[in-house]
Every structure is written in structure tokens, then in C-alpha cells.
């Protein structure tokens, strides 16, 4: 079984998946099965192993890792049994993101420009970073890994990201100009320097950015529905929603628009992009108007 696992991991990695957690779990399962004298996946063994997870969500995740492996390996060896995918009955939940309005983003950026020390680089660093995240939908890790060499005349080069892919992300002229102004103030010493740095000239750390952003959100008076605080990651959700709203109205062009959005955001499939979309009042009004037009006179948009 271990040989089949290694071949499966190699194939998945060749298509861009890191598979670090899957490798750990599959090798753990293989050891568990070997203790029972088994060389193929047996449903009850997979369930017993997955049940060792401390929570329903983790037990479900462990079993699904085995299921994905079995669906691959059964093509060549039907002796592997496919466990029931939803045996533990777990349901994946999604925290509702806060979709920032343009005014809210402007207030957060203005709050960043007031960061101390007054007139120092820190305020411009955070203002530029937040502005960049809001207009590109980058993962925060992607923005923090940017080096001066990654800033090109054709856009930003996003290297070795979540799925070990490298992509070129074009920037609007205003965004490119804002980044150029920041770098002129920043005055990096070499092409390998990070774009965004702290007071010591070291790459910004995620934890520091998150804590500062939370402070800026509070200072800007941005409040989400319910008790949950607007998050830094919600800027990525906001970008996806606004890109959908600003997309072409023609139905035959919407599919190409979504595919382009998925590529720009660095997703390996369109389903990951759907995860970032959220129904907003403006979007629902547009859907209602399109539906009404179709029902009244058969118009299609």
C-alpha cells in the first residue's frame, strides 16, 4: 500500500498540490492497516483509523483523505474498498465574510496613514498593503512574499503560491502608480528586498499585519453584522464579489469572466472561487431585475 501512496502523492504534486498533510495522514493510515495485516484499503479499517480524530470535523477530513486516495488507486486495483464519504456526518461550515464597502476601505486606509511614527514609512506601508489587497484580492501571504523584482511593467509576479503555481497578475494603472510611489519612498537597496517591510527593514510578519489591521478596522469604525469582527481575509472575499458585480451582463460571457477571475485569484478550479462569493444587496437586486425581465418578456441578460 505504501508504494501506491507514494505514486499517488507524486502524481498530485506534479499537478501543483503540496500534499504535506495528506502524506502524513496516508502514511499514518498505512501503518494502521499494516498492523492489522492488510495490504489494501478496507472500509472498516479506514473508519476505525479516521475515528481516532479528536473532533467530528477532523474524523471526516481523515476519512476523505483516504477516499480520495482510493478513488485514484482503484482504477488499477479494484481490491481497495471505497469507504462511505460522509460516514461521520460532518458538515463544512463557512463563516460569513464581511463585504467591505468602498467607503469602509477608504476609512481603513486613512486610518493607516495616521499610524505612528508620524511621517514615517510604517503608515505608508500599511496604507499601500491594504489598498493592494483590496484591488487585487491577493492572499496576504502572497502580498507579504513580494520582492522588488516581482514588480514588473506587466504586473506583479506571484511566485510559488498555495498550490505551488506562479502567475502574473496585471494591475490597474492607478494601483501600479500607487505601488511605484510607495517604492520610491521606501527606497529598497536591491531587487531581492521585500516590498513590504517593518521598522527594521525586515519582511512584514502576518501576525503583526493582522493585529495592526484589527486596530485600524476599529479605529475606522467598521462593524460587521453580528458579533464577528471584519477580518483581513475578508478583503479577498470583497474583491471576488465586486469582480462578479462588475462583470459582463451577457450570459455567454459570464463563464469566461469567472474563469478569468479564478485564474487571477490563483485558484486551481472554479469551485474555490465560488467559495469566496457572497450574496449582497446590490447583487440580489441585479439578479431579481434579470429574473423579472425574463418572466415579463423573455429578455435574457
Whether 107 contacts 221, CB under 8 Å = yes
For residue 57, give the C-alpha cell. 470535523
Catalytic annotation on 162?
yes
Of 107, 236, 237, 242, the catalytic one is 236
Of 162, 165, 210, 257, the catalytic one is 162
Of 8, 100, 126, 276, the catalytic one is 276
The sign of the torsion formed by the CA atoms of 257, 263, 265, 268 equals positive
Whether 85 contacts 59, CB under 8 Å = no
Element (H, E) at 190: none
Whether 134 contacts 123, CB under 8 Å = no
Of 12, 139, 231, 257, the catalytic one is 139
Of 27, 87, 231, 233, the catalytic one is 233
CA 47 to CA 14: how far, in whole Å?
29
Catalytic annotation on 233?
yes
CA 203 to CA 142: how far, in whole Å?
12
| Preceding peptide of 117 cis, ω within 30° | yes
Q: Beta partners for 203?
A: 197
For residue 185, give the C-alpha cell. 519612498
Whether 136 contacts 175, CB under 8 Å = yes
Catalytic annotation on 139?
yes
Catalytic annotation on 236?
yes
* Residue 243: closest CA among 224, 225, 265: 265
Catalytic annotation on 27?
no
CA 133 to CA 145: how far, in whole Å?
13
For residue 261, give the C-alpha cell. 477571475
Catalytic annotation on 267?
yes
Which of the residues are catalytic?
Answer: 139, 162, 233, 236, 267, 276
Amino acid at each position: 500500500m505504501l508504494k501506491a501512496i507514494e505514486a499517488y502523492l507524486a502524481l498530485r504534486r506534479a499537478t501543483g498540490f503540496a500534499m504535506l498533510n495528506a502524506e502524513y495522514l496516508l502514511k499514518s493510515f498505512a501503518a494502521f492497516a499494516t498492523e492489522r495485516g492488510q495490504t489494501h484499503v478496507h472500509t472498516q479499517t479506514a473508519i476505525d483509523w479516521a475515528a481516532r480524530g479528536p473532533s467530528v470535523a477532523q474524523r471526516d477530513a481523515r476519512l476523505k483523505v483516504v477516499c480520495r486516495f482510493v478513488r485514484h488507486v482503484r482504477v488499477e486495483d479494484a481490491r481497495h474498498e471505497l469507504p462511505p464519504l460522509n460516514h461521520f456526518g460532518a458538515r463544512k461550515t463557512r463563516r460569513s465574510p464581511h463585504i467591505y464597502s468602498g467607503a469602509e476601505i477608504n476609512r481603513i486606509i486613512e486610518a493607516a496613514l495616521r499610524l505612528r511614527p508620524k511621517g514615517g514609512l510604517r503608515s505608508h506601508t500599511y496604507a499601500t498593503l491594504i489598498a493592494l489587497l483590496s484591488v487585487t484580492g491577493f492572499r496576504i501571504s502572497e502580498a507579504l512574499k513580494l520582492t522588488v523584482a516581482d514588480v514588473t511593467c506587466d504586473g506583479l509576479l506571484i511566485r510559488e503560491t498555495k498550490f505551488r503555481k506562479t502567475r502574473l497578475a496585471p494591475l490597474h494603472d492607478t494601483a501600479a502608480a500607487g505601488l511605484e510611489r510607495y517604492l520610491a519612498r521606501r527606497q529598497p537597496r536591491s531587487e531581492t528586498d521585500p516590498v513590504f517591510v517593518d521598522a527594521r527593514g525586515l519582511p512584514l510578519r502576518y501576525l503583526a499585519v493582522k493585529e495592526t489591521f484589527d486596530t485600524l478596522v476599529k479605529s475606522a469604525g467598521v462593524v460587521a453584522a453580528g458579533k464577528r469582527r471584519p477580518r483581513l481575509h475578508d478583503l479577498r472575499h470583497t474583491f471576488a464579489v465586486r469582480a462578479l458585480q462588475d462583470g459582463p451582463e451577457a450570459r455567454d460571457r459570464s463563464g469566461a469572466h469567472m474563469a478569468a477571475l479564478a485564474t487571477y485569484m490563483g485558484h486551481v478550479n472554479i469551485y474555490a472561487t465560488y467559495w469566496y462569493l457572497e450574496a449582497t444587496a446590490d447583487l440580489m437586486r441585479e439578479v431579481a431585475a434579470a429574473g423579472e425581465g425574463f418572466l415579463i418578456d423573455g429578455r435574457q441578460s
